[in-house]
Amino acid sequence: MARKTANDDPLAPVTVAVGQEDLLLDRAVQEVVAAAKAADADTDVRDLTPDQLQPGTLAELTSPSLFAERKVVVVRNAQDLSADTVKDVKAYLGAPAEEITLVLLHAGGAKGKGLLDAARKAGAREVACPKMTKPAERLSFVRGEFRTLGRSATPEACQALVDAIGSDLRELASAASQLVADVEGTIDEAVVGRYYTGRAEASSFEVADRAVEGRAAEALEALRWSLSTGVAPVLITSALAQGVRAIGKLSSARGGRPADLARELGMPPWKIDRVRQQMRGWTPDGVAVALRAVAEADAGVKGGGDDPEYALEKAVVTIARAARSRRG
């Protein structure tokens, strides 16, 4: 979820939303607009792109009105504003108008950093909207969605939803909302499976799970389905790596309760139980072979080979064979 500064009043004179996660940027805008309309139902909202905010435009939009109307001025991609317009915005930051809320959406990189620094120096309310690139971040996002919606979902259900939907936060948010609307009581893994089985079968984690379980044919089927539905090859190699590393970590760990192992290995207890079931048939040599296969596939899909699909198929078959090494 978006992170905010200590100044958490959505009606602060200036809000700057920083990052490249479109859903979070849109929510930052929606929060300000909703607060403004709650204060004044007739609030005028102007949503502008850089080419629409020419020199002098901001002064016109924020000039005093005979009717003292409340107004929200949203500027998207503020890092792309022209130099003259940036001067206008910086001048405004020093003396913001009453009843006006300015919302600047900024990608957060080096481009346009002077404007971002000026907004921060002026004490603008800041909402962080970083791109969520790690599975753990998306898992945390899903948990937060269910909490916000006032419903309970098991850790397994949250993970299953991330595995099924993938990296698109809008789709994850929509799926969580749909489940809350349709299902009574606690949302568990079985419920997610009923709603999103088709998508789960096409996910990168489905490929990894079937491979580390030694089910080569099913893993290959899931792989081809994933690729045909647009799953990025690099996400599949990442899932394969996570699956094999989890096997290696748990096989070399001391025995104990899932909760104890979870603390030791940095995995949730439910995942400990899943990996324990998957690791039957694995040997240390098998883990080493599988890790090498993942590394080769990763190089293949990142430009080191001519055929990323073949590189992935080869890795999946090698991992599945390694998973059966103890069984001969």
* Backbone φ, ψ for residue 6 (5° rounding): -60, -35
Domain ranges for the chain: 12-127, 133-194, 199-321
Q: Give the pLDDT of residue 328.
A: 52
- CA dist 154 and 273 (Å) reads 15
Contact 119, 14 (CB under 8 A): yes
E-only strand ranges, 130-267: none
Nearest Cα neighbor of 312 from 202, 229, 232, 196 is 232
| 288's tokens | 């080493």
3-state SS assignment for residue 286: helix
Question: Is domain 133-194 annotated with CATH 1.10.132?
Answer: no
| 63's tokens | 């000039």
- The pLDDT tens digits for 78-100 are 999 999 999 999 999 999 998 89
Q: Give the pLDDT of residue 45.
A: 92
- The region that residue 256 occupies, defined by phi over 0 for left and psi between -120 and 50 for alpha, beta otherwise, is left
Residue range 215-219: mean pLDDT, rounded: 91
Q: Give the pLDDT of residue 174.
A: 86
H/E stretch holding 283 reads none
List Cα–Cα distances, 248 to 25, 238, 253, in angstroms: 39, 15, 9
Q: Give the pLDDT of residue 176.
A: 92
Q: Supply the mean pLDDT for the chain.
A: 86
pLDDT band at 104 (very low <50, low <70, confident <90, very high): very high
Whether 324 shows a pLDDT value over 90: the answer reads no
Whether 290 shows a pLDDT value over 60: the answer reads yes
List Cα–Cα distances, 288 to 137, 206, 240, 272, in angstroms: 28, 21, 13, 20
- CA dist 79 and 301 (Å) reads 33
Residue range 281-291: mean pLDDT, rounded: 92
- DSSP letters along 214-240, please? T-HHHHHHHHHHHHHTT--HHHHHHHH
- The pLDDT tens digits for 35-89 are 999 999 999 999 999 999 999 999 999 887 656 678 999 999 999 999 999 999 9
Residue range 202-219: mean pLDDT, rounded: 85
H runs (alpha helix) in 10-79: 22-39, 57-61
Length in residues, the chain: 328
Residue range 298-322: mean pLDDT, rounded: 88
Residue range 266-286: mean pLDDT, rounded: 80
Count of other CB atoms within 10 angstroms of residue 56 = 11
List of residues 6+ apart from 37 with CB closer than 8 A: 43
pLDDT band at 316 (very low <50, low <70, confident <90, very high): very high
Largest CA distance in the chain: 85
Fold held by 199-321: Zinc Finger, Delta Prime; domain 3 (1.20.272)
Residue range 185-199: mean pLDDT, rounded: 79
CATH of domain 12-127: 3.40.50.300
pLDDT band at 325 (very low <50, low <70, confident <90, very high): confident
3-state SS assignment for residue 14: strand
pLDDT band at 267 (very low <50, low <70, confident <90, very high): low
Residue range 104-127: mean pLDDT, rounded: 95
- DSSP letters along 92-129, please? HHHSPPTTEEEEEEE--SSTTHHHHHHHHHTT-EEEEE
List Cα–Cα distances, 34 to 30, 102, 168, 293, 326, in angstroms: 6, 14, 24, 51, 60
Q: Give the pLDDT of residue 258.
A: 62
pLDDT band at 199 (very low <50, low <70, confident <90, very high): low
